[in-house]
Structure 1
Amino acid sequence: METITCGSWIGQLGKALAPRELEALLWVAQGLTTKEVARQMAVSPGTAANRIENALFKLEAKRRLDAVMKAMHQQIINPLCIVLVCIMAMHASLNDGDPMRRDRRAPERRTAQVRIVRKAEALELHA
């Protein structure tokens, strides 16, 4: 199946949206405004708005965020970062015994103790 990649999102062609509507929706998923989508697609802002509205209508969504969520649910679009997260998770599970890996622990809280000691020293010097 053919795909379109825009920024960090990938879309599947042939699943309810025309190619330009899918491209517009992918740019919307990136968080771009209508004018920015128009610049990316090299069309006028009115044309970009029409493509976005057509995608909203076909996905039966009232808002852009709703359209992105419905498209993700129907597996029309997917973020590319999911692939990166899966690779990182697989790497972590395979290399669990890595001696160079160490878990971080919370820093010790010694500031209160240091202040108390300094106050006591200051009182002893003045006495």
Structure 2
Amino acid sequence: MDTIQIDGWQGRLGQGLAPRQLMATIYAAKDMTAKEIARRMDCSPSTIKKQLDTARFKLGMQRTTRGLCLEAMRRGIIAPLVLALLVGAEHNPQVRPIRRPEAPRSQTVARIQRLEEAGLTA
């Protein structure tokens, strides 16, 4: 299966998105604006907006670019490269259990007043 790797992200071709739409989606997942994506891909911002709109339509009428990125990640079309490496290597770190105290902690507050001050106010 062919993949596209861009700045720590991996995208899979042949999963429903065209290569340029996949690239635009990866850049959008990196929280880049249409103008920044257009500079990277050497095209106009309106072209990027159209590619993202088409990708949203192909992945089920997502309303926002964030929804597009989440849906693409859910379907496994795009993924951060670190996550892809961890899943591929089956890295299972040891998880330490959380130790809780057996009894809840309480706080005692005492107010001490001098007798002289108590006699003056009375």
CA RMSD of aligned residues (A): 2.2
Q: How many equivalent pairs are there? A: 93
Cα shift at 1:52 = 0.9
- For 1:41 and 1:6, locate their aligned partners in 2 and report how far apart those are by CA, in whole Å: 12
Q: Deviations over 1:7-26 (max 9, x none)?
A: 22110000010010000000
Q: Does residue 1:38 correspond to 2:38, yes or no?
A: yes
- For 2:88 and 2:11, locate their aligned partners in 1 and report how far apart those are by CA, in whole Å: 20
Residue type of the alignment partner of 1:62? R
Deviates more, 1:57-66 or 1:77-86: 77-86
Higher helix share: 1
Q: Deviations over 1:31-83 (max 9, x none)?
A: 00000010111111111111111111111211111111111111111111214
Q: Does residue 1:82 correspond to 2:77, yes or no?
A: no
- For 2:11 and 2:73, locate their aligned partners in 1 and report how far apart those are by CA, in whole Å: 9
- For 1:15 and 1:29, locate their aligned partners in 2 and report how far apart those are by CA, in whole Å: 17
Gaps of 5+ in 2: 95-122
* CA distance 1:58–1:3, change in 2 (3 Å): same
Q: Deviations over 1:66-124 (max 9, x none)?
A: 1111111111111112146569984966xxxxxxxxxxxxxxxxxxxxxxxxxxxxxxx
TM-score, length of structure 2 as denominator length:
0.68
- For 1:50 and 1:32, locate their aligned partners in 2 and report how far apart those are by CA, in whole Å: 16
Rg larger in 1 or in 2?
A: 2
8 Å Cα contact 1:37/1:48 also seen in 2: yes
- Matching residue of 2:24: 24
TM-score, length of structure 1 as denominator length:
0.65
- Matching residue of 2:97: none
Percent of paired sites with the same residue: 37
| Secondary structure, counterpart of 2:10 in structure 1 | strand
| Secondary structure, counterpart of 1:40 in structure 2 | helix
- Matching residue of 2:72: 71
